[in-house]
Structure 1
Amino acid sequence: MPDWTYHPLRPVTAAVVGRRRSQRAALRLLATLTSLPGGFRMDSAFAGRFGAPAEVAARLGASVPVAVARDAVRALPALGASVIEVRPVGPADVALIRRVAAGRRCTLVVGAAEPEVAAALAPHVDRIAGDDEPDLVRLSDPDVAGAAAALADPAVTVLATSALLVAAGPGWFQRVTEATAPPTEMKALPIEMTTPPVEVKAPTTEATAPAGPSGRASGIVVDPRRWPAWWWGMLVGLGMIVAGLGAAVITLGPLLAWYDNEYLGAGRGQLEAVNPRLVHFVQHDRISLAGALIAIGVLYAGLAWGGIRRGWTWARYAYLASGAVGFPTLFYFVSSGFVDVLHAAATVTLFPMFVLAVRHRPGPPRWTVRPEGPEFVRRRALVGQLLMILVGAGMLVGGVTISVVGLSSVFVTTDLAFLGTDTHHLQAANPRLVPFIAHDRAGFGGALMSAAAAIVLLSAWGWRRGESWVWWSLALAAVTGFAPAVVVHMFIGYTSFEHLVPVYLGIALTAVALTLAHPYLNRPRR
């Protein structure tokens, strides 16, 4: 359970089932998920644990009572607790601790004051600790800077008490880990001389005097094979933006490209003759798609510049997940039978760049540690983070729905009401018209899914104090994605509230989310 669910939902769950019961339920749920196949890695990913320094992570953990030992030993290592101390342990707890120790993923320390308890558990745990161990620092204050200062001593292990974890939330381990990570400077881009110095002489003719002293010309060419991954990521983002703008220009101009006319055997005039609103309907699909492509480009550029460039593994995973969803949508033509030549050309051009952007893990992460600032600012930002993730999840559901509709029935009820016709009439007018529209609809659904994946993962993993690029990436993507869709619907008169309510809801939630997160994500002015 990450901070963006723990803190915003904690008051609600506490009011429904009680404070202590809700805390135990949250820990039990996390322990259960971690115990499932692949659950440990999934929980670690949700917690944003990528590239944590092993030396520091091995000395960070929690001190818990016996009552929650079983769940804590299963759940907390996925959040970054490499050491779990259970105390105080009495004779009645020996059997439980033995069961807890089996199959653990952490260093297990037991606080046992009685010699017989220590002797019974010593073969099963990693360490028996007393009350005053100089290398074990137990903290109750959630201040990240204090924990980082304690970890500066390589002989010290820092243990968060239950009170600290309840107050700070499960993301405390990752925040401390990042605060202790030393900054890593970016390496300079390797540049090689590919053109050796040559002597350049002016030609001598009867009309010209001999050349003066010879000059030297040298060329410096950067080998693209040695470009850093984030360069390729930026190029893919720029390419997506150009593709979106190109689609918008064609849609607002001739509407149909040459291959559209060839496939349909008709032009814009014939479409208007079939149905006076058909041209506007095609425009609204394609402008919405163009906005989604531009939004994806903005998100890719942000992930490349703000994340991959700084060695953040999570940014590469977010980029990879979005592209893995988006690029295969080219093959929607198998269902519709219509091949969009420009879509295919853009995919063939951008996909190799995409592979170059994500094929290698980024270098060592470059952390920027900033003061924690007021806690209430972070808590409000966590609400915004949850809302932003919900927006992305809603877009993902919407994209899947639109793709399924586009590849099956093609139209929804409000579409046919706007057109004032039915599918059979359109098929009778031109047998290729419905597959043509189906391709546009399904393609928009695929683009929406790709953007949604980037939004969800950027919001889940990139929410850090002072990372203004995250805020601007999401804000610009929202403007370029939502605005064209709303404007084109209003322009053509397709204003059905039932049809547009998901868009209105997405705009409202995004505005609230970014407003709440603005003081946290954007660096304060000095």
Structure 2
Amino acid sequence: MPDWTYHPLRGIAAALLGPRRSRLAALRALATVGSLPGGGGLIARGFGHRHPPAHLAGTVAGVAVRNRLGAVVPPGVARDAVRALPPVGAGFVEVAPVGLADVPAVREAAEGRRVPVVVHAVGPDAAAVVAALAGHVDAVRTEADPAALHVTSPLVAPAVDALADRAAAVLATPAVLVAAGPGWFARVTEAATPTEPPPSVRDLGLDPRRWPAWWWGLLVGLGMAGAGLGAAAITLGPVLLWYDREFLGTGLDGLHAVNHHLVHFLQHDRITMAGTMVAIGVLYAGLSVGGLRQGWGWAREAFLVSGWIGFPSLLYFLGHGFVEPLHTAVAVVLFPMFLVAVHRRTDRPRWTVLAEGPESVRRRALVGQLLMVCTGIGLFIGGVVVSAVGLTDVFVASDLEFLGTDADALRAANPRLLSFVAHDRAGFGGALMAAAAAITLLSAWGWRRGEAWVWWTLALAAAAGFLPAVVVHGTIHYTDLLHLAPVFVGIALTATALVLSRPYLCARPVKVRDPARLP
């Protein structure tokens, strides 16, 4: 489990299972998933972990490792540790101390390993342990390794300093992992990664073929936000454009004649959609300037996932037969930019790692992170529901109560009316899923001390998405409490998350080290 579930839920789990059993249960859960086909990759991707930098590779006890950052565990938990720790960033696992009675457990632990397993044999039977484990593990040593540092502090800086010596290896003790959480490996790896300053607008040049991914991503975000503002202006102005009137065969007067609440209902759908589009634009701009520009690989993946959810929602027209020209034009212009943004990878790390602050501040921020991830997941579920309703029944019960009619009456008044409303509904559902995916992944992967852009991106996106929805419902007097409950819950969760995390995300402490130029 990631730190944002491990720390906030650890107290509850300890109260239910006891401290030791709860820790073993967490380790077993990771080990179970990690032992499944593709499970290790799923954990690594889900936690936002990436390959360690090349300079962290080396040797441990004569065995080549991709990352000199590992863990030392006792034989009793070796099986679960060997399966659980590599996906969260451990480059090797040392099992110690090992006596002759521990040999069967170590053999079982080493089966199917994904990283080297090193054993430290102790006691009078050490020679027998070496013979018994030959061919079953990668190395067995009987003496202490002077190049291996067993860190006893959960702080990142001591481990980073030790890894600066390319002959040294760093091992986290169980006490460190219990105190710091499974994200400790990733935090140390990121802090030990050489970086360079991020580029500025002055570095772009005039040739679009040389523009970096972050600039194309920013253009997509600005375009999406501009399209949302344009949609809001149309909704607050003429409401219907020429192609809307042609499809419906009528104008505003005709809609008023069908139902005097119908125009307000359309405005409420479209304003909510416009706010969501602006929120997507804010999220994409933040991921581009704050994430892609700094070389965060997870930012590209968050952008990629969200875009591949949002852009194909244009195909919802196949379900209702109404193709909106402006919506299509926006997608045609922005989609190629999106493809360029996600195609051009940023290989050079350009982030700045800040020194750790008070642990209590980080713990509160992790609670906020958990709430923000839950908010994103809830919004995604809401988007799925809205899309399904838009493509099937079109209306929910509270909609028909507000309109004071039923779907059959509206269909009888204008055979194309339900398809027109369904287009707005389904499109909003697709946009909501795209925004929710970006919120979820940004919250799950982007929580780092001093990354103020994450806080501001989420805050501005929340304002753009939630406030128009609340205002328009109040303005047209569509105030069904059950209908608005998800919005108010989302606002409460987001506000709480942002309050808890602001001191952490917006901190400005001294840097661990100055950025080093990559060769």
When normalised by structure 1's length, the TM-score is 0.93
Alignment equivalent of 2:73, drawn from 57, 64, 72? 64
Q: Is the 8 A contact 2:199 2:293 kept in 1?
A: no
What SS does structure 2 have at the residue aligned with 1:111?
strand
Residues 187 and 270 of structure 1: is their aligned pair in 2 closer, same or farther, counting only changes over 3 Å? Answer: closer
| 1:375 corresponds to | 359
Residues 26 and 138 of structure 1: is their aligned pair in 2 closer, same or farther, counting only changes over 3 Å? Answer: same
| 2:52 corresponds to | 52
Residues 272 and 327 of structure 1: is their aligned pair in 2 closer, same or farther, counting only changes over 3 Å? Answer: same
Code of the residue aligned with 2:154 in structure 1: it is P
Q: Is the 8 A contact 2:383 2:431 kept in 1?
A: yes
Q: Is the 8 A contact 2:213 2:345 kept in 1?
A: no
Code of the residue aligned with 1:235 in structure 2: it is L
| 1:160 corresponds to | 172
Alignment of 1:63-212 (within 5 A): 63-113=72-122, 114-130=126-142, 132-186=144-198
Mind listing any 5+ residue stretches in structure 1 that lack a counterpart?
193-220
Code of the residue aligned with 2:344 in structure 1: it is H
Q: Is the 8 A contact 1:64 1:84 kept in 2?
A: yes
What SS does structure 2 have at the residue aligned with 1:128?
strand
Mind listing any 5+ residue stretches in structure 2 that lack a counterpart?
57-65, 511-519
User: Partners of 2:440 and 2:33 in 1: how far apart?
Assistant: 20
Q: Deviations over 1:109-152 (max 9, x none)?
A: 10112111112113221222345210111112101101111111
User: Partners of 1:228 and 1:394 in 2: how far apart?
Assistant: 33
Alignment equivalent of 1:242, drawn from 198, 223, 226? 226
Q: Deviations over 1:399-424 (max 9, x none)?
A: 00000000000000000000000000
Alignment of 1:219-298 (within 5 A): 222-298=206-282
Q: Deviations over 1:182-210 (max 9, x none)?
A: 12244688989xxxxxxxxxxxxxxxxxx
Q: Deviations over 1:70-89 (max 9, x none)?
A: 00001100011011011111
| 1:322 corresponds to | 306
Alignment equivalent of 1:517, drawn from 493, 501, 511? 501
Code of the residue aligned with 1:348 in structure 2: it is V
| 2:419 corresponds to | 435
Q: Is the 8 A contact 1:191 1:223 kept in 2?
A: no
User: Partners of 1:52 and 1:316 in 2: how far apart?
Assistant: 17
Give runs of ≥4 in structure 1 deviating > 4 Å: 186-192
| 1:2 corresponds to | 2
Output the aligned Cα RMSD.
1.5
| 1:210 corresponds to | none
Aligned length: 498
User: Partners of 1:512 and 1:357 in 2: how far apart?
Assistant: 33
Indicate whether 1:478 and 2:487 are aligned.
no
User: Partners of 2:203 and 2:379 in 1: how far apart?
Assistant: 42
Q: Deviations over 1:218-270 (max 9, x none)?
A: xxx72211111111101000000110001000000110011000000010111
When normalised by structure 2's length, the TM-score is 0.94
User: Partners of 2:168 and 2:112 in 1: how far apart?
Assistant: 26
What SS does structure 2 have at the residue aligned with 1:81?
coil
Q: Is the 8 A contact 1:302 1:469 kept in 2?
A: yes
| 2:517 corresponds to | none
User: Partners of 2:203 and 2:166 in 1: how far apart?
Assistant: 39
